[in-house]
């Protein structure tokens, strides 16, 4: 991860942005994905900043001796507000879901597990198998598997009922 000091050119707001790499920052900037958290402007650029060099893992932090500040330099009475973080993509909330939502998700997971007991996993041949059953080329049965969005749309266009499962399924050969 790399952190840059960013600046909104419209409102002169400064904030931090965390990125996977310099290339990731450049890509997001080029695509206009960066916005100012204060005013929403997409006119964002790197601000001047001091380099940050992390301490080596085998080095202990150096603690300054506790010496009171000289009388000539009064201690500040207030601290500046921290700069808001850059928002390059919608953040995932770390707030736990309400108990009702968790109960609903557990119920959906149990329903899916029960439905899959009477279904056969066909893997990536899902679209072909669904078509063959729909057109009477093979005996109909309940199946589940993997397909692309495009193939799923084509199946729906052909009148073949398909639906995504609410939770990912581990293929039988990959299950523990």
Domain span holding position 155 = 99-174
For the segment 58-110, what is each residue's pLDDT rounded down to a tens digit?
A: 666 555 555 555 555 444 444 455 555 555 555 556 678 888 988 998 999 99
Whether 7 maps to a domain, the answer reads: yes
Confidence (pTM): 0.45
Would 71 be classed as within a structural domain?
Answer: no
Q: Which are the contacts of 85, defined by CB distance < 8 A and separation ≥ 6?
A: 15, 16, 17, 18, 37
**What is the number of domains present in the chain?**
2
Query: Phi/psi class of residue 36: alpha, beta or left (left: φ > 0; alpha: ψ in -120 to 50)?
Result: beta
38, 11 contact by CB (below 8 A): yes
pLDDT tops 70 at residue 5: yes
Tell me what the pLDDT averaged over the chain comes to.
80
Q: Is 94 helix (H, G, I), strand (E, B) or coil?
A: coil
In sequence order, which residues have a C-beta less than 8 Å from that of residue 121 and are 6 or more positions away? 143, 144, 145, 169, 171, 172
| pLDDT tens for each residue of 143-165 | 999 999 999 999 999 999 999 88
């Amino acid at each position: 991860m790399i952190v840059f000091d960013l600046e909104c050119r419209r409102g002169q707001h400064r904030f931090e942005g965390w990125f996977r790499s310099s290339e990731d920052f450049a890509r997001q900037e080029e695509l206009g994905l960066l916005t100012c958290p204060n005013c929403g402007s997409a006119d964002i650029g790197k601000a001047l900043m001091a380099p940050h060099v992390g301490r080596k893992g085998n080095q202990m932090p150096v603690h300054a001796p506790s010496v009171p500040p000289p009388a000539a330099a009064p201690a500040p009475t207030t601290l500046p507000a921290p700069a808001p973080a850059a928002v390059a993509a919608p953040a995932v909330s770390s707030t736990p879901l309400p108990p009702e939502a968790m109960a609903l998700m557990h119920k959906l997971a149990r329903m899916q597990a029960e439905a899959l007991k009477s279904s056969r996993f066909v893997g990536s041949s899902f679209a072909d198998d669904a078509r063959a059953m729909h057109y009477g080329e093979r005996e109909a049965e309940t199946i589940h598997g993997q397909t692309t969005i495009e193939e799923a749309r084509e199946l729906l266009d052909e009148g073949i009922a398909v639906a995504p499962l609410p939770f990912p399924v581990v293929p039988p050969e990959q299950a523990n």
